[in-house]
């Protein structure tokens, strides 16, 4: 998901497991959590930098029952606890955590690590700007279409009757990602089926029957 707050890549994990970058790995401590565990609340008092080792996390903001998913984090992704976001485990997960300043000191000694780290931070900021842009400038029909279009580009599989897409998310989950209500997203998916663009096969499974029409619907939200 290109518009999400995450750095894209396993670079960070590969780098810290190199022998010459041992100082960084030594600064990090493993923590494991079970599925559904709420790892961090907003303004967590420990000011940590964390790297996901295995598993999957969801970072989101919430207020009065309403939620906005900021990102789905996987292995190699980095995040900090000094923010107003919740972090929950979507599956059993292991992270590598370190107090911020200790992390900085270690990172400062390894240029090989520092550059991808900065690039990761840059990616996260780009993702935040993308969320802002979408929420402010684009209506929800564009945002939903863009969501599916981008998912299809990333993980769609061609088949005889169209492009199969295993999203692995419920309609409610998708709604929290695109910043809308479940009911609205549901009816938009229904409309796309009526328009011959996409068909819901089962929970989390879709068939995109007209990729070009989906792209046009998503414009200019997805480009």
Q: Does residue 91 touch DNA according to CB under 7 A? A: no
Q: Does residue 170 touch DNA according to CB under 7 A? A: yes
- Site map (CB under 8 A) of a copy of itself, residues 146-185, x = contact: ---------------------------------x------
Helices (H), ranges, the chain: 11-16, 22-27, 100-108, 111-137, 140-155, 171-178, 182-194, 211-218
Give phi and psi for 184, each to the nearest 5.
Answer: -65, -45
Q: Does residue 114 touch a copy of itself according to CB under 8 A? A: yes
Distance (Å, whole) CA 73 – CA 144? 20
- Site map (CB under 8 A) of a copy of itself, residues 63-102, x = contact: x--x-x-x---------x-xxxx-----------------
Q: Out of 45, 111, 160, 202, point to the residue binding a copy of itself (CB under 8 A).
A: 111
Which among 12, 216, 10 is positioned nearest to 118, based on CA atoms?
A: 12
Q: Does residue 217 touch DNA according to CB under 7 A? A: no
Sheet order of strands, 38-40 included? 38-40, 86-89, 57-63, 66-73
Determine the 3-state secondary structure of 168 from DSSP.
coil
Rg of the chain taking only CA atoms, in angstroms: 19
Question: Could you list the residues that contact a copy of itself (CB under 8 A)?
Answer: 61, 63, 66, 68, 70, 80, 82-85, 104, 108, 111, 114-115, 118, 121-122, 124-126, 128-133, 135-137, 179, 220
Question: Could you list the residues that contact DNA (CB under 7 A)?
Answer: 66, 139-141, 170-172, 179-184, 186-187, 189-190, 200, 202-204
């Amino acid at each position: 998901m290109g518009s999400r707050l995450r750095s894209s890549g396993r670079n960070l994990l590969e780098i810290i497991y190199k022998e010459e970058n041992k100082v960084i790995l030594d600064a990090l401590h493993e923590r494991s959590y079970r599925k559904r565990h709420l790892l961090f609340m907003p303004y967590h008092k420990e000011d940590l930098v964390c790297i996901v080792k295995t598993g999957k996390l969801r970072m989101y903001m919430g207020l009065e029952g309403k939620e906005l998913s900021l990102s789905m984090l996987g292995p190699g992704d980095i995040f900090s606890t000094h923010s107003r976001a919740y972090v929950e485990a979507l599956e059993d997960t292991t992270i590598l955590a370190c107090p911020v300043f200790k992390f900085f000191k270690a990172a400062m000694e390894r240029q090989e690590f520092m550059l991808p780290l900065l690039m990761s931070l840059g990616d996260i900021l780009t993702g935040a700007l993308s969320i802002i842009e979408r929420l402010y400038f684009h209506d929800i029909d564009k945002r939903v279409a863009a969501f599916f279009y981008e998912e299809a580009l990333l993980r769609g599989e061609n088949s005889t009757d169209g492009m199969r897409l295993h999203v692995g998310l419920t309609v409610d989950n998708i709604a929290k990602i695109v910043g809308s209500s479940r009911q609205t997203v549901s009816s938009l998916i229904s409309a796309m089926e009526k328009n011959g663009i996409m068909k819901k096969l089962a929970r989390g499974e879709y068939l995109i029957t007209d990729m070009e029409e989906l792209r046009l619907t998503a414009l200019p939200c997805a480009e």
